[in-house]
């Protein structure tokens, strides 16, 4: 169930616009229908063609149906092994196909893959509905669940049984026949609306170009940013001009450094108005309809709101708990942001200007204030953050904590030339898994950074299935005369996604349908950011790309002293988005809302200051309207409470204390989700987490 849900979700999240017609036939040697025959059974990308996907998906769904039929038609009494475990083991081919297709749809899509996404999304939704609403299957699951107290199950098996039963109940298994029909209709419409939402957002993000024709309009920009903009223009056959896009490595440096305030406003408005241009790609009505359908589905299933439905499965449990948590952070964050605004406004006046600070001014003047207060220029850090060195720094942290080795493999197929592949081994040299790293901008890659897997760890009897995972980013690519140089934020992103990869590589869960809940899944990633910024670690990987000299101690100390700089801004823009998410998903009726009015009402209620725009506005809030974070965007800061508290254990015992690292690996990375997550956390930490380390980390105390 969970595997199928995640596969469908990933396709919806990544899907693009329909384009060319797709051939419905495939060569007889479809690589999905046999062992790959590659090292560690990694996907043979050079042999996988677009025409293979639809036949592979259809056969995979047929095979999955046959497996489900065998479970439901068995004459034997339902047992954990022949029902719960058998269901968890089913759908292997579907996982195989979905894993490759979803990865490529995110990282290197094209018109054909976009068309395939439009074909397979409704097929997968229907397939998922068929399983979730299968009455005979549910009765067998219920029979095992009702006998739970008499079964000799270990904690992970108990968790699998509970999850499986709840998945079916929450998926509509107890509904009447008429309500099941209604639920199918809601699920079908939601899947296609989410698909359309993301299509629109990708179109608005990827088609916008701000063309600069006069060199004086580039005043203030670092040479590397100007060179990248010129290269983008050349690729678009606009030689002699400069092009800026809505991709993060392009628009953020422009807002940080460009003196031309009018152009800063132009680019910023373009970013913040994605999906809100009253054109064919407008997302306002789509988001309102998605929210209304989620209310209808939640109430059909017996929940007052979509948030109540979602949060039941999370650590937070209820919307009230989340609101209370966010409100506790909001007031100190807002006070700090107001102080930051005053400092920026003072800098505006100091320069002889009389205008009132606007959202498109914040990044520019924050950079000036940082330089004035800390003598720290973000662009001066880049020469010390060569991508390969930063990645090695992350690898070294994992080596010192967990005894891992990362060995590049040139013999494993890749889906793009700039992807690199590493075999991961343990201290004893035993194979653990494979890690693909794909960090650079390219056409066809969706924005952001993420981790995923072509294959997850598993055990069937005595056989072990080793994981194949990947990290994807959107960092600036190497230039002709210099390697890829990262910003400090990029460095943290690389370590963050690597933390997700470690969870995928080191998990030793026996079953697929167990794992950390949404508001706990960010702990393994966010805790790694602490090592990324720690001076002792930074000194090991931050070396000048030309001289190989380590980063000067004075620069390290400037970074340390500036750690809480601008944290009011960062906290407020994030918390505003989290509250907006929760407001949309605590609606209790299906009335159509004007999305603009709705979000303005939210921001007025919480007194969001006009100089800061929510990190995500409704029309481009893909996390909640086309991704898996609806009623769950708060998860990042909830997990930050955990990661700040967890890292305190390393501060107390030693940055690379092996006893602490072993406890963290055993309870969080290997066993995360196999028992109640708070029980496992307390087993690692020896106590419940407290919020104080987070407040201290963000400077909110």
Please give the Cα distance from 164 to 688 (Å, whole number).
28
pLDDT at residue number 442: 86
* 92 neighbors 432 (Cβ within 8 angstroms): no
Q: How far apart are CA 499 and CA 396, in angstroms?
A: 13
Residue 406 forms beta bridges with which residues?
A: 424
Q: What is the pLDDT of residues 560-569, one digit of tens each?
A: 999 999 999 9
pLDDT at 588: 98
The more confidently predicted of residues 447 and 682 is 682
| Segment 183-231, tens digit of pLDDT | 999 999 999 999 899 889 988 998 999 999 999 999 999 998 999 999 9
Question: What integer is the mean pLDDT of 611-632?
Answer: 95
Report the distance separating Cα 57 and Cα 477, nearest Å.
34
Residue 481, helix vs strand vs coil: coil
Is the CA virtual torsion 505, 506, 510, 514 positive or negative?
Answer: negative
Question: Which tokens belong to 503?
Answer: 């969870």
The owner of tokens 């209604």 is: 182
Residue 607 DSSP class: T
The whole-number pLDDT of residue 14 equals 37
Q: Is pLDDT at 4 greater than 80 in this prediction?
A: no
Q: 658-695 pLDDT, tens per residue?
A: 999 999 999 999 999 999 999 999 999 999 998 988 88
Q: Report the pLDDT value the prediction gives residue 19, as an integer from 0 to 100.
A: 30
User: What does the pLDDT look like over 276-301, one tens digit per residue?
Assistant: 999 999 999 999 999 999 999 999 99
Query: CA 53 from chain center: how many Å?
Result: 25
Say whether pLDDT at 7 is over 70.
no
Q: Residue 503 burial by CB count (10 A; 0-12/13-18/19+): exposed, middle or buried?
A: buried
- Give the per-residue pLDDT at 621: 97
CA–CA separation, 268 vs 250, rounded Å? 11
pLDDT band of residue 12 (cuts 50, 70, 90) is very low
Q: DSSP letter at 385?
A: B
pLDDT digits (tens, 9 = 90+) for 147-182: 999 999 999 999 999 999 999 999 999 999 999 999
Residue-wise pLDDT tens digits, 245-255: 998 889 999 99
Q: What is the pLDDT of residues 139-149, one digit of tens each?
A: 999 999 999 99
Residue 302: per-residue pLDDT: 97
* Helices and strands per DSSP (H, E), number in the chain: 28, 9
Q: Is residue 506 pLDDT above 90, yes or no? A: yes
pLDDT computed for residue 199 by the predictor: 85
Ordered structural domains, the chain, with CATH:
2-174 (1.10.1370.40), 208-272 (no CATH), 382-513 (3.40.390.10)
**What does 397-456 look like in DSSP terms, one character per residue?**
HHHHHH--EEEE-SSS--SSTT-EEEEEE-TTS-EEEEEEEEEE--TTPPSS-EEEEEE-
- The active-site residue out of 367, 497, 522, 599 is 497
| Cα 391 to Cα 148: distance, rounded to the nearest angstrom | 46
The pTM (predicted TM-score) of the whole model is 0.91
Q: How large is the average pLDDT for residues 443-450? A: 85
46 is catalytic: no
Are 366 and 340 a contacting pair, CB within 8 Å?
yes
**pLDDT category, 407, cuts 50, 70, 90?**
very high
Q: Contact, 673 vs 514, CB < 8 A?
A: yes
CB 330 within 8 Å of CB 568: no
- SS3 sequence, 618-650? HHHCHHHHCCCCCCCCCHHHHHHHHHHHHHHHH
Greatest mean pLDDT among 115-119, 500-504, 689-693 lies in 500-504
Write down the pLDDT at residue 1: 43
Condensed to tens digits (0 to 9), the pLDDT of residues 348-377 reads 999 999 999 999 999 999 999 999 999 998
* Confidence band for 28, pLDDT divided at 50, 70 and 90: low
Kindly report, residue by residue over 450-497, the tens digit of the pLDDT: 999 999 998 888 889 999 999 999 998 898 788 999 999 999 999 999
DSSP state of 307: H
Task: Write down the pLDDT at residue 13.
Answer: 35
Which percentage of the chain shows pLDDT scores above 90? 86
Residue 5 has pLDDT above 50, yes or no: no
Give the tokens for residue 556. 């390290």
């Amino acid at each position: 169930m969970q595997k199928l849900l995640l596969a469908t979700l990933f396709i919806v999240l990544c899907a693009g616009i329909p384009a060319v017609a797709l051939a419905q036939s495939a060569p007889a040697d479809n690589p999905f229908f046999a062992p790959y025959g590659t090292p560690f059974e990694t996907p043979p990308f050079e042999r996988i063609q677009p025409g293979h996907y639809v036949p592979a998906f259809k056969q995979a769904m047929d095979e999955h149906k046959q497996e489900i039929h065998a479970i439901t038609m068995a004459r034997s009494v339902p047992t954990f092994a022949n029902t719960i475990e058998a269901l968890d083991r089913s759908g292997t081919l579907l996982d195989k196909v979905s894993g490759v297709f979803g990865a490529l749809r995110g990282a290197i899509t094209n018109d054909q893959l976009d068309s395939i996404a439009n074909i397979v999304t409704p097929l997968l939704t229907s397939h998922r509905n068929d399983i979730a609403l299968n009455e005979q299957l549910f009765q067998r699951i219920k029979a095992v669940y009702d006998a739970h107290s008499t079964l000799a199950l270990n904690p992970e098996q108990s968790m699998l049984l509970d999850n499986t039963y709840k998945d079916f109940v929450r998926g509509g298994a107890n509904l009447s026949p008429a309500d099941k029909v209604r639920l199918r209709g809601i699920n079908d419409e939601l899947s296609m609306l989410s698909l359309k939402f993301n299509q629109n957002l990708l179109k608005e993000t990827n088609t916008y170009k701000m063309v600069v024709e006069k060199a004086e309009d580039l005043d203030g920009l670092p040479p590397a940013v100007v060179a990248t903009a010129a290269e983008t223009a050349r690729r678009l056959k606009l030689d002699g001009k400069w092009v800026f896009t809505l991709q993060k490595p392009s628009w953020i440096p422009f807002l940080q450094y460009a003196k031309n305030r009018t152009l800063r406003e132009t680019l910023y408005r373009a970013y913040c108005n994605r999906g809100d241009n009253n054109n064919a790609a407008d997302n306002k009505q789509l988001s309102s309809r998605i929210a209304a359908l989620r209310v209808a589905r939640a109430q059909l299933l017996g929940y007052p709101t979509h948030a109540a439905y979602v949060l039941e499965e999370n650590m937070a449990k209820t919307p009230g708990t989340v609101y209370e948590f966010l409100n506790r952070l909001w007031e100190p964050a807002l006070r700090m942001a107001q102080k930051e605004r005053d400092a920026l406004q003072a800098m505006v006046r100091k320069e002889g200007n009389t205008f009132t600070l606007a959202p498109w001014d914040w990044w520019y003047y924050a950079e000036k204030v940082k330089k004035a207060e800390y003598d720290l220029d973000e662009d001066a850090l880049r020469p010390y953050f060569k991508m390969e060195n930063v990645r090695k720094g992350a690898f070294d942290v994992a080596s010192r904590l967990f005894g891992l080795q990362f060995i590049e493999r040139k013999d494993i197929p890749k889906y793009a030339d700039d992807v690199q592949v590493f075999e991961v081994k343990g201290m004893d040299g035993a194979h653990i898994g494979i890690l693909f790293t794909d960090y650079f901008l390219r056409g066809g890659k969706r924005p952001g950074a993420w981790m995923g897997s072509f294959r997850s760890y598993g055990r069937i009897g005595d056989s072990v299935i080793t994981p194949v995972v990947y990290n994807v980013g959107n960092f600036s690519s190497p230039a002709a005369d210099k390697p890829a140089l990262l910003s400090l934020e990029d460095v943290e992103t690389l370590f963050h996604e690597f933390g997700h990869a470690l969870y995928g590589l080191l998990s030793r869960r026996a079953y697929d349908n167990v794992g950390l809940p949404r508001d706990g899944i960010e702990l393994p990633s966010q805790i790694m950011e602490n090592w990324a910024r720690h001076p002792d670690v930074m000194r090991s990987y931050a070396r000048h790309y030309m001289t190989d000299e380590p980063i000067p101690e004075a620069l390290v100390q400037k970074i340390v002293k500036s750690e809480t700089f601008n944290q009011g801004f960062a906290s407020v823009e994030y918390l505003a988005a989290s509250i907006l998410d929760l407001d949309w998903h605590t609606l209790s009726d299906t009335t159509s809302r004007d999305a603009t009015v709705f979000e303005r009402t939210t921001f007025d209620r919480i007194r969001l200051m006009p100089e800061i725009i929510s990190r995500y506005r409704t029309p481009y809030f893909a996390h909640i309207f086309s991704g898996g974070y609806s009623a769950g965007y708060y998860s990042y800061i909830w997990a930050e409470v955990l990661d700040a508290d967890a890292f305190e254990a390393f501060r107390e015992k030693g940055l690379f204390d092996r006893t602490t690292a072993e406890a963290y690996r055993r309870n969080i990375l290997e066993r995360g989700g196999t028992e109640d997550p708070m029980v496992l956390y307390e087993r690692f930490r020896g106590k419940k987490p407290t919020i104080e380390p987070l407040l201290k980390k963000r400077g909110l105390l």
